[in-house]
Amino acid sequence: MRPAPLWRRYDRLLGPDAAADVKDELHFHLETKVDDLVAQGWCPEDARKEAERQFGNILAIQRVGERIGEHMDRRRRLTAYWADALRDLRFTLRTLRRDAGFTVIAILILTLAIGANIAVFAVVNILLLRPLPFPDAHQLVWIAPAPQKCGFACSTYSADAYNRFRAESRSYQDVTGYFAFSTADNLRLMGHGDPQPATGIMVIGNFFEVLGVEPALGRLFTSDETRHGARPVAVLSNAYWRRQFGSDPSIVGKAIDLNGQPTTVVGVLPAGFDFGAVFSPGAKADLFQPLILEDTRNWGSIVTMLGRLKPGVTLAQAQAEGTAIEPHLCFSDNSAVAGSCGFYHQDIYTMRLRTLKDYVDGRLRRSLIVLWSAVGVILLIACVNLSNLLLARAAARGKEFAVRGALGASRGRIARQLLTESLVLSCAGAVFGLALAFLLLEWLAHQGSLALPLLSSLRIDGAALEWTALTAAFATLLCGLVPALRMAGGPLSEALKDPSAGAGQGRSHQRVRSLLVISEVALACMLLVGAGLLLRSFLQVLDVDLGFQPDRAAAIQIDYQAHDPAQLATILQWILAKVGALPGVTAAGMVDYLPMEQNREGTAPVPKGSGINANNLPGTLVYVVTPGYFHAMGMTLRGRDFTWDDRPKGPGVIILNETVTRFLFPGQDPLGKIVSADVDRQIIGVVRDVHDSNAENQPSWQMYFPQTQMGPAGMQLVFRTNLPPSALASSVLHALRELNSNQPAAAFRPIRSIVDHASSPRRFFMMLVTAFALLGLVLATLGIYGVISYSVTRQTQPIGIRMALGASTTHVQRAVLFDTLRLAVAGIVLGGAASLASARFIAAMLFKTSPFDARAYVGMALALLSIALVSGYLPARRASRIDPIQALRNN
């Protein structure tokens, strides 16, 4: 073989061509064969024909060759690519190891940013993006009147209304519901030593079928078990079954003693079903019992309705149908008086359907989006910061790149090298970020006191991993692109010519870096404004006069079975006297439902003889209280409290809140007036409005009945102390036990914790956004410091000259600080404008705070300015210490 002549080497100038190679090769074979045949004496035409015949199907062979050729080509390219990548990687690791300080800071910044992003994504994913944990969850609809200020009490229907709605609507596969007013620890499980408190939820018989929940063990309720007089049965939640019954599968079919009533366990629910997580965040549900509709039809509006739409039925269709049916719904179908079935009042009850998902996460959507944006901004700031650091490094390495360029490295290769660097950093950040997110989520999933739905199922799943990869890729590009473009774009040789690392390039570098810092400050500024507004809102919420004093008061559930009201009153009086006499207790009283936990609604009271139709008034929250309750809760009462002398047979008495009396008796003194409630009652007192669902909602109509005149009800004992409430827990429980051996070891709850629970989502979001804002502030500080410090180093000589010419130390310092302030002010102006522009977005999350709240903006500006001054001061001091002689002698 002789080597090919020079010109031949250019016939693949435009890159390898596998198909042409194959053709050439086969062509050569054919021609040589023809030559041989001619040499053997064939005539040229015949020789060619013979050669082609011998060859057979030349096209088929060609195709095989092309396929193999392409394959080899691809592999060759890939091998070359990976070899390059590996070289880049090795080189990057070496340089990063050499510059350990930079590497650690860069990875730390990225870890914080990416970790926060993953954690928030996991929360967003579970609450916003992922469907609820039910089959065909999109079909599930929450059927309730439009959201009202009175919480559950105005979002429920009576048993009769439920029955009629279910019978008349055609849009649903089935409609179900549950009893909305179960309190925590409303049951006592007997037969396991001390009575154990348990939370039972009464659900309509078809509840689990409608949701599509299959029992893990046993079965669900049969229709016989939901009728009047059925033997009591229960289905256990998986967690309760594991905790209380040690995962004993033989529990199914056995009877357990609940409140003295043998109840057969018919099934155990799957671990994946968490009632509290979906329907009442932060609460637990231990077991479920069928709600006997016939027995509860006179309990008022107690059922929250939800349904499963038929396939193909839209929410709008169901809504139209619901709006049409609602006026026919009867509060009570068997009303004794003909024609007064108690229609749902249209002013208050306007049915509005929402998907169950919307119901569960609707309130949180806005907050989550804000949170998501906040971590997104953090990621941006981190990337800009890193981009800046990398740029500074790249500038310092200008010579290295120039040498490499002079030795033949293309700009693409140098850019790739820089991108490899940011890829390595991002990947390290992603790995550590994943670990950080794991810890954060682990912590968050166990925050039982946080009233956020579905928290317990938080984990890092496939989607979160994908998000991690996406974030890391984004960070790689964002961090690496600017330096890569700058380095690849500038004239490389400049750095070689100029001994001081390229003055011209240095200046334009400085401009890019200043722009980066300004955008960083602007982003941090937006975060700070957002955090400031949320913080102000939160303070406003804390400032709200709740109508009671949550500190130094606590509640405990008590349990006493007595059927005669008079007898019960005697016992309760005795209990209260006993508890009230404990050292440290200053007041004690009882109520059926605590504010901010649950409530129930009744018909509004009307002034006797006024002729007002109570159905035209808003539903009114009903509380049954004992004497001493108002005092124990720290409520402000005008008039007199109930006394034990308000006997069942005595004159009826009632206490109303200010909202009711203001409406019913405008400009008059309501005390002593008679109103018709269940019976005629005299108003003996007026209490300040109590925030019944949370601090942010307006208080609704409230009325208080004396326990002595209302018969038995579930009771919460509230007491006020002058000691920390927890110090009294055991002595109170001990006293209760002495009086009533059946008293369960119920949870002892400071009233403050109930209030905190109600505002926990706001606190949670506020704290997160504040944390992100602080992180953003730190990063922006680092950015400012980096740029100013670098510029001082670069200007050592000019500063030295100026000082030699007589510039004073303060003069030099002032100049550097001025540079710093210019950056900060530009960023603040930009960020402030962006905040103003996006203010509407956050307005919905604010409480009694304007999105243009001056204090938040001024606070932000001051915080950033002072931080900027601090971060500019160190370089300024360094600049003023420059020795002119030294600076001039260098070079």
- Give the interface with another protein as residue ranges (CB under 8 A): 1-5, 8, 21, 24-26, 28-29, 31-33, 35, 54-58, 60-61, 64-65, 68-69, 71-72
DSSP 8-state class, residue 589: E
Rounded least distance, CB 779 to another protein, Å: 51
Q: Which two tokens stand for residue 603?
A: 């018909």
Rounded least distance, CB 768 to another protein, Å: 57
| Extended strands (E) in 610-724 | 620-625, 637-639, 653-657, 674-676, 680-687, 702-706, 715-721
Q: Which two tokens stand for residue 15?
A: 């890159």
Rounded least distance, CB 14 to another protein, Å: 16
Give 65 or 147: the residue with its C-beta nearer to another protein.
65
Task: Tell me the CA distances in angstroms from 403 to 193, 409, 411, 472, 546, one per residue in order.
Answer: 83, 9, 12, 31, 72
Residues 6+ apart with CB under 8 A from 521: 780, 783, 784, 823, 824, 826, 827, 828, 830, 831, 864, 868
CB-CB contact of 490 with 397 (8 Å): no
Rounded least distance, CB 19 to another protein, Å: 13
Rounded least distance, CB 63 to another protein, Å: 10
Residues 6+ apart with CB under 8 A from 63: none
Helix axes 809-837, 503-543, angle to 10 degrees: 60
Residues 6+ apart with CB under 8 A from 157: 165, 177, 301, 303, 304, 305, 329, 344
CB-CB contact of 209 with 220 (8 Å): yes
Rounded least distance, CB 795 to another protein, Å: 58
Q: Which two tokens stand for residue 533?
A: 């507004």
Q: How far is CA 102 from its chain centroid?
A: 33
Give 67 or 640: the residue with its C-beta nearer to another protein.
67
* Alpha-carbon dihedral 549, 554, 556, 562, rounded to 10 degrees: -50
CB-CB contact of 511 with 740 (8 Å): no
CB-CB contact of 534 with 859 (8 Å): no
Give 54 or 493: the residue with its C-beta nearer to another protein.
54
Give 52 or 347: the residue with its C-beta nearer to another protein.
52
Q: Which two tokens stand for residue 657?
A: 């809140």
Rounded least distance, CB 41 to another protein, Å: 18
User: 264 — phi, psi (to 5°)?
Assistant: -85, 130
Give 18 or 836: the residue with its C-beta nearer to another protein.
18
**Residue owning tokens 């008293």:** 743
- DSSP-derived 3-state class of residue 684: strand
Q: How far is CA 115 from its chain centroid?
A: 15
Give 5 or 462: the residue with its C-beta nearer to another protein.
5
Greatest extent of the chain over all pairs of C-alpha atoms, in Å:
139
Give 21 or 756: the residue with its C-beta nearer to another protein.
21
Give 5 or 41: the residue with its C-beta nearer to another protein.
5
Name the CA radius of gyration of the chain, rounded: 38
DSSP 8-state class, residue 549: -
Give 54 or 323: the residue with its C-beta nearer to another protein.
54
Q: Nearest 5°: CA angle at 429, between 425 and 433?
A: 175
Task: Tell me the CA distances in angstroms from 262 to 190, 258, 712, one per residue in order.
Answer: 10, 6, 22
Rounded least distance, CB 269 to another protein, Å: 60
Give 33 or 413: the residue with its C-beta nearer to another protein.
33
Give 5 or 611: the residue with its C-beta nearer to another protein.
5
Rounded least distance, CB 18 to another protein, Å: 10
d(CA 381, CA 630) in angstroms, rounded, equals: 52
Rounded least distance, CB 8 to another protein, Å: 6
d(CA 303, CA 145) in angstroms, rounded, equals: 12
Rounded least distance, CB 21 to another protein, Å: 7
d(CA 503, CA 137) in angstroms, rounded, equals: 64
- DSSP-derived 3-state class of residue 689: coil
**Residue owning tokens 């053709």:** 23
Give 54 or 793: the residue with its C-beta nearer to another protein.
54
Rounded least distance, CB 40 to another protein, Å: 13
Q: How far is CA 524 from its chain centroid?
A: 21
Rounded least distance, CB 408 to another protein, Å: 25
Give 53 or 497: the residue with its C-beta nearer to another protein.
53
d(CA 501, CA 403) in angstroms, rounded, equals: 12
Rounded least distance, CB 5 to another protein, Å: 7
Give 21 or 257: the residue with its C-beta nearer to another protein.
21
Give 72 or 571: the residue with its C-beta nearer to another protein.
72
CB-CB contact of 206 with 174 (8 Å): yes
Of residues 97, 79, 252, 261, the one with CA closest to residue 187: 261
Q: Which two tokens stand for residue 364?
A: 């949180």
d(CA 852, CA 639) in angstroms, rounded, equals: 43
Give 4 or 337: the residue with its C-beta nearer to another protein.
4
Give 2 or 97: the residue with its C-beta nearer to another protein.
2
d(CA 169, CA 143) in angstroms, rounded, equals: 12
Give 31 or 738: the residue with its C-beta nearer to another protein.
31
Rounded least distance, CB 17 to another protein, Å: 12
Amino acid at 250: S
| Continuous segment of H or E residues that includes residue 507 | helix 503-543
Rounded least distance, CB 80 to another protein, Å: 15
